[in-house]
Structure 1
Amino acid sequence: MQVNETVNDGLKRGYQITLSAAELDEKVNEKLTEAQPDIEMKGFRKGKVPMALLKKQFGDRLLGEAMQESVDGAISKHFEETGDRPAMQPDVKMTNENWEKGQDVEVELSYEKLPEIPDFDAGSISLERLVVTPDDAAVEDALNSLAENAKSFDAKDGASEDGDQVVIDFLGKVDGEAFEGGAAEDYPLVLGSGSFIPGFEEQLTGKTAGEEVEVKVSFPEDYQAAHLAGKDAMFETTVKEVKAPKAAEIDDELAKNYGAEDLEALKGQIKERLAAEYAGAARQVLKRKLLDELDGKVSFDLPPSLVQAEADQIAHTLWHEENPDHQGHDHDKIEATDEHMKLAERRVRLGLLLAELGRKNEVQVTDAEMTQAVMAQARQYPGQERQFFEFVQQNPQMRQQLQAPIFEDKVVDFIIEKADVTDKDVSKEDLEAAVEALEDEDTAA
């Protein structure tokens, strides 16, 4: 077998692989010799069928297998010897398309190899980590929110006001005809909650128990039920009760309702939850700072195919975000812009760098971490968790999608541990501003 280099341009590589007819014939003979002891044929004892007869009967069938195995073996050997790692699936095609038995096989192999990633000293990176300690005011805000969620409603005399709860029966009609899902009895509606069609709740303000109201509204143009979108409707509504909100007391009883032993225990749980939320937000900011540092410190050639694929994906995703009503992919090709290409270059560069750092330092995603990720994803499909687990097990691409962010975060943590990180105490507002700045950058990108 001969392997000749035909392309060596940057990261692009091309090779002509020639597999001689004699090598193919030898490979077929090897396969027949291996199988001969187990072959039975009429007129011959098991394992005693002559090689010539075996070749006549099975040779053509084994020729294709021998050809594929030989080419695959040659390609695997090539990557082992050169150390090249293809950026994407290599392109392999037979160049003598009119090949006939007895001729040499000529195959063209082309790919873009992954670049050599330069080493860098993680200890040379200086980062600032924002630290927020939950204060009493934050705990009180959280307690007030819990009390608001736990509020009750007591019957009252007089007209309904914004914030009151009205218990209503209603029957909705469009063009004089009742429609499915447009009726309910004893429905508790909090006025001002915005949970009903725009304009509905306002027309029930100032009403008393026992009043009957014709509520006239228009369904929004983008209403989820297409047959109702944009249409005028009238709801025959009866106000059965008017109730005023009663705030829950912030005491031990409230704490017990939320699973804590007493109020002090609930405050402790709130502090822990707030601390975890602040730490998560601070890590987002720290990770972005780290990626910005890495992007400025390390430079190497990028495989054009990877950059183009990433830019196309970015352009496609952003187009769908700007056109949410277009769910399918039956649209014209979306061309990536210079901005998309610039963002793609950054993502590919950082992705390759983190992947190489993880490989060199043997960063691994454990089975337990994968199971936790699958379980978290499965919760989005209540009642179908088992089917989701089976889908993930049978779908390598899905497993890779779940594994990739875990691996990236572990590599980021590995670098942060070696970097020079200084903690800086800041206020909650400062942290929120830093997170908003990240979101603004992502939106601009």
Structure 2
Amino acid sequence: MQVIETLAEGLKREIKVVVPVAELQERLDERLADVKDKVRINGFRPGKVPPAHLKKVYGKSIVAELVNDLIRTKPTEILNERGEKSATQPEVAMTEDTDEAERILAAQADLEFSFSYEIIPTFDVQAVDGIKVVREVVEIPESEVEEQVLKIAESARTYETKDGAAENGDRVTMNYLGKVDGVAFEGGTAEDAELVLGSGRFIPGFEDQLVGVKAGDEKVITVTFPAEYPAAELAGKDATFDITVKEVAGPASLEIDDELAKKLGLESAERLREIVREQLEGQFGSITRQKVKRQILDQLDEQYSFEVPQGLVSAEFENIWRQVNTDLEQAGKTFADEDTTEEDARAEYLKLAERRVRLGLVLSEIGAKSGVDVTEEEMQRALYEQLRQFPGQQKEILDYFRNTPGASASLRAPIFEEKVIDQLLSEISVTDKTVTKEELLAEDDEAEGEKAEEKKKAAPKKKAAAKAEAAEGEEAPAPKKKAASKKKAAEDTAE
């Protein structure tokens, strides 16, 4: 068998494999010898079928299996022998000439095929002791805890039917039918809907027009959907709602005490406050970590500059671009509405895709050098989280992860990445800085610098899209998703 390198340009490689006809015939004879005692052919005793007849009956199918086996296994073997890692699945090509293919299947011609791929680039892991980050920490005041406890208590507040007119703070139970241009629209109808006036849950102006209604009243409300309303077909449209008021109820007194806590399934008000504080610490801690992670990625991006596999970049870009267009479509907008062009936006997101791939490879190599690994227990927890998010679909999800090649890598990659960040945090310089909640949540425009400002001008300005670069340490490409997009092609392949 001959293995010939026909292309070595940058990260691109192409290998030609030639299996001489004599070797193909030898492999065929071995297979025929193996099956002769197993096949049953009318007119012949077991094991007594002449080799020529066996070859006539089974030769082509056996050669076809041999060809498939060689194409499936040889690229991996050759890559291992060359000490290379392919960034993506190698692309295999062989003859498309029907006559030549027939001669190969008849073991009368050399088998030739080639496979092309891009290698994972090699680079030296640089020292990280020069990386410095500021970790913003929020000290949660009691007033913040009490504010959140009050919101929870409001959700458990009871209401008592009243005879008078509805006021802000009262709960109105009603049926309504929404129309645009006199035609009912999808999602604009409900029965026994409950609305606390002043809660701001409905379209602006809707709740104000219910102040003063009484049980049994019928009323037509006119409102205008906001220009940024998520349903593009309703955004900016005038609408009417036919209202039938069924009940007006006033709020009962609200006491944050053990009795309230027990209604919420807790043993005491003190425990309620503890849980609220833990949740706030978790929320703020997540934001803090994300901002620290962004600082680390920015500095790693400055440290490394090497060619990256374009196959990975293309796959990452397609994920991002799909999300961008879905986001715009759902908002009923175009690139022109976002002060950019499709060409400029593509260029910006292509840069982002390349940066993400490079950083993914860097994190993968850092993790490998540091001995970072993902345990089976961590994988099981990640799978359980997937199952928890989709109740009723547990079997389908399990089947997906069991039967889809590479699916488990989508669970492993984000865990691996976070563990690498933890490893880096133990080695770099970290300075804690106490900040207010508002400071933590504020956009750090100065830290983003001119590069981020330019991106905000060029990229679609929906919330996630405008922060595409700032969000790139997260699991999903910007604009965001939940499931499914995926940033991890680089880490998945690099390992």
TM-score grouping bracket, smaller chain normalisation: 0.7 to 0.9
SS of structure 2 residue aligned to 1:338: helix
Does residue 370 (structure 1) correspond to residue 379 (structure 2)? The answer is yes
Which residue of structure 2 lines up, in the alignment, with residue 154 of structure 1? 160
Gaps of 5+ in 1: 327-333
Which residue of structure 1 lines up, in the alignment, with residue 473 of structure 2? none
Does residue 30 (structure 1) correspond to residue 30 (structure 2)? The answer is yes
For 1:165 and 1:96, locate their aligned partners in 2 and report how far apart those are by CA, in whole Å.
73
Which residue of structure 1 lines up, in the alignment, with residue 451 of structure 2? none
Q: Encode CA deviations 1:147-180: one digit per residue, 9 max, x unaligned.
A: 3223333344643222222344567789999999
Does residue 120 (structure 1) correspond to residue 126 (structure 2)? The answer is yes
The change in CA–CA distance for 1:85 and 1:173 in structure 2 (over 3 A counts) is: closer
For residue 349 of structure 1, report the CA deviation from its aligned partner: 0.1
Structure 1 window deviating more from structure 2 (306-315 vs 276-285): it is 306-315
For residue 69 of structure 1, report the CA deviation from its aligned partner: 2.6
Contact conserved, 1:147 with 1:247, CA < 8 A, in 2? Answer: no
Counterparts of residues 120-199 of structure 1 (less than 5 Å): 120-156=126-162, 158-168=164-174, 187-196=193-202, 199=205
For 2:465 and 2:325, locate their aligned partners in 1 and report how far apart those are by CA, in whole Å.
18
Which residue of structure 2 lines up, in the alignment, with residue 314 of structure 1? 320
For 1:155 and 1:82, locate their aligned partners in 2 and report how far apart those are by CA, in whole Å.
80
Runs ≥4 in structure 1, deviation > 6 angstroms? 171-185, 221-227, 435-441
Structure 1 window deviating more from structure 2 (143-152 vs 20-29): it is 143-152
For 2:465 and 2:280, locate their aligned partners in 1 and report how far apart those are by CA, in whole Å.
25
For 2:302 and 2:417, locate their aligned partners in 1 and report how far apart those are by CA, in whole Å.
18
Counterparts of residues 347-362 of structure 1 (less than 5 Å): 347-362=356-371
Does residue 53 (structure 1) correspond to residue 53 (structure 2)? The answer is yes
Which residue of structure 2 lines up, in the alignment, with residue 405 of structure 1? 414
**Candidates 241, 258, 271, aligned match of 1:265:** 271
Matched pairs, number: 437
For 1:217 and 1:176, locate their aligned partners in 2 and report how far apart those are by CA, in whole Å.
12
**What residue identity is the alignment partner of 2:244?**
T
**Candidates 210, 215, 220, aligned match of 2:220:** 215
For 2:432 and 2:172, locate their aligned partners in 1 and report how far apart those are by CA, in whole Å.
51
Which residue of structure 1 lines up, in the alignment, with residue 12 of structure 2? 12
Q: Encode CA deviations 1:25-74: one digit per residue, 9 max, x unaligned.
A: 11101111222332344454423333333223222221222233334444
For 1:427 and 1:219, locate their aligned partners in 2 and report how far apart those are by CA, in whole Å.
37
**What residue identity is the alignment partner of 2:170?**
D
Does residue 91 (structure 1) correspond to residue 91 (structure 2)? The answer is yes
For 1:309 and 1:252, locate their aligned partners in 2 and report how far apart those are by CA, in whole Å.
54
Contact conserved, 1:171 with 1:237, CA < 8 A, in 2? Answer: no
For 1:151 and 1:232, locate their aligned partners in 2 and report how far apart those are by CA, in whole Å.
31
**Candidates 435, 442, 467, aligned match of 1:443:** 467
- TM-score by structure 1 length? 0.84
Structure 1 window deviating more from structure 2 (357-366 vs 296-305): it is 357-366
Contact conserved, 1:96 with 1:105, CA < 8 A, in 2? Answer: no
**What residue identity is the alignment partner of 1:88?**
T
Which residue of structure 2 lines up, in the alignment, with residue 416 of structure 1? 425
Structure 1 window deviating more from structure 2 (84-93 vs 394-403): it is 394-403
**Candidates 340, 355, 366, aligned match of 1:346:** 355
For 1:183 and 1:5, locate their aligned partners in 2 and report how far apart those are by CA, in whole Å.
67
In our comparison, the structure showing a higher alpha carbon Rg is 1
For 2:215 and 2:438, locate their aligned partners in 1 and report how far apart those are by CA, in whole Å.
45
Which residue of structure 2 lines up, in the alignment, with residue 329 of structure 1? none
For 1:182 and 1:304, locate their aligned partners in 2 and report how far apart those are by CA, in whole Å.
47
For 2:56 and 2:212, locate their aligned partners in 1 and report how far apart those are by CA, in whole Å.
96
Q: Encode CA deviations 1:356-402: one digit per residue, 9 max, x unaligned.
A: 33344453333333333333333443333333333333333543333
Contact conserved, 2:14 with 2:114, CA < 8 A, in 1? Answer: yes
Does residue 294 (structure 1) correspond to residue 300 (structure 2)? The answer is yes
For 1:66 and 1:298, locate their aligned partners in 2 and report how far apart those are by CA, in whole Å.
44
**What residue identity is the alignment partner of 2:27?**
K
For residue 347 of structure 1, report the CA deviation from its aligned partner: 0.5
Which residue of structure 2 lines up, in the alignment, with residue 235 of structure 1? 242
For 2:467 and 2:442, locate their aligned partners in 1 and report how far apart those are by CA, in whole Å.
15
SS of structure 1 residue aligned to 2:36: helix
For residue 209 of structure 1, report the CA deviation from its aligned partner: 4.4
SS of structure 1 residue aligned to 2:256: coil
SS of structure 2 residue aligned to 1:337: helix
**Candidates 439, 442, 445, aligned match of 1:433:** 442
For residue 113 of structure 1, report the CA deviation from its aligned partner: 1.0
The change in CA–CA distance for 1:179 and 1:68 in structure 2 (over 3 A counts) is: closer
For 2:204 and 2:162, locate their aligned partners in 1 and report how far apart those are by CA, in whole Å.
26
Contact conserved, 2:232 with 2:330, CA < 8 A, in 1? Answer: no
Contact conserved, 1:169 with 1:187, CA < 8 A, in 2? Answer: yes
